[in-house]
Amino acid sequence: MNPQEVTKESEKLSYQCDICKKFLSSKGNLTIHKRIHAGGKQYHCDICGKPFMVKSNLTRHKYIHSEEKPYFCDICGKSFTQKDSLTYHKSIHTGEKPYHCNICGKSFAVRGKLNSHELTHTNERPHQCDICGKSFSHKSGLTYHKSLHTGEKPYHCDICGKSFVIRSHLTSHELTHTNERPYQCDICGKSFSQKSNLTTHKAIHTGEKPYHCDICGKSFVQRQHLTTHEFTHNNERPYQCDICGKSFSQKCHFTHHKYTHTREKPYN
């Protein structure tokens, strides 16, 4: 990036933190950023004790315990525990993405997705694991990482009982039961049940690999593939066999290893 481009990008980050002097692109992002300095999570769930920085996040979390789904899609009738989930779902029907990144122009259906995306421009990693200290730019990355420590998978499919670490993974999984394929390639028309599969498919047409490793520069189509790759640099092996104790950096290698104990053939 040349000096002129750096100047243009910095002009778009106009909200400055009075503590560390870092610039953010919106007042909302500045508020979120300043919580890093403040520390502490003052809102606690009275059912499971889980702490939250923001009261609205606690309110959404409590729906998990009550199984209440107060947000209904007026197009297909599907219901959701979170308003953001409904908004994202409706964008599948309408194609609307009203939130735009001021730096690169990329559009999003939900403001929270835009906020997370903007961190990729600043290299900020505000979400830190309280177990090992590793930091992430996206909350979903931290959630997935912490599940490696805890084994927790709080989101359960009502149809088959399969559990997931992240709500969006459950939402994608549920489409496999309905045979719904809401994600359509605008180049060839092929449809997919999961957005990640569409992203991988479109890379065949475009060759785009937007996720880059900061250490070696290798690029990937999906963020999760980058996360898995990064383990090879820090020698982290989060997947441990509960039978023999052997550890692996990649889940696919761990899964294949376990078949050596069970003698079960993974592919029939």
Specify the residue for token string 């990144």.
101
Reported as a single tens digit per residue, the pLDDT across 51-109 is 776 677 787 777 777 777 888 888 888 888 777 778 878 877 887 888 888 888 888 87
Reported as a single tens digit per residue, the pLDDT across 209-245 is 877 887 788 888 877 778 778 777 767 677 778 888 8
Three-state DSSP at 128 gives strand
Reported as a single tens digit per residue, the pLDDT across 94-106 is 878 888 888 888 8
Reported as a single tens digit per residue, the pLDDT across 152-208 is 887 888 888 888 877 777 877 887 887 778 788 888 888 887 777 888 888 888 888
Tell me which of 116 and 162 has the higher pLDDT.
162
pTM: 0.36
Cite the beta strand spans of the chain per DSSP E.
15-16, 23-24, 43-44, 51-52, 71-72, 79-80, 99-100, 107-108, 127-128, 135-136, 155-156, 163-164, 183-184, 191-192, 211-212, 219-220, 239-240, 247-248
Q: Report whether 205 contacts 188 (CB < 8 A).
A: yes
